[in-house]
Amino acid sequence: MSAGGAVMSDLAEPFAMSLEAVSKHVRVLEKARLVRRTRNGRTHRCRLRPEPLKDAARVLTQLASLWNKRLDSLERFLLELKGAE
């Protein structure tokens, strides 16, 4: 999608999907707050909302850091056990 968004027919074009099917997919993305749809007459324009993805990336980065520390601790513990044998 460009900065101005994309119309539904443009979104459907690369896929073998009806406009109705694309609309259902877009509704799911709207509920997840990843896409914003506006209407101008019969034309529906969709615009990507990257903020929720940025929030998710931040949380996942924090979780990755936490799990990396825990797995490093587990590795050290297992190496100590192996050395004590």
CATH number of the structural domain spanning residue 24: 1.10.10.10
In angstroms, rounded to a whole number, what is the distance separating the alpha carbons of residues 14 and 34?
A: 20
Which range marks the domain in which residue 40 is found? 6-49
- Which residue would you say has higher pLDDT here, 56 or 4? 56
In angstroms, rounded to a whole number, what is the distance separating the alpha carbons of residues 1 and 31?
A: 18
Residues 35 and 57 reside in one and the same domain: no
Total count of domains within the chain: 2
Starting at the edge strand found earlier in the chain, the sheet holding 35-40 runs: 6-7, 43-48, 35-40
The predicted pLDDT at position 83 comes to 87
Per-residue pLDDT tens for 38-57?
A: 988 988 899 999 898 899 99
Residue 1 in domain: no
The predicted pLDDT at position 1 comes to 55
Residue 24 in domain: yes
In angstroms, rounded to a whole number, what is the distance separating the alpha carbons of residues 76 and 1?
A: 47
Q: What three-state secondary structure class fits 77? A: helix
Residue 16 in domain: yes
pTM of the model: 0.60
Q: What three-state secondary structure class fits 13? A: coil
Residues 78 and 62 reside in one and the same domain: yes
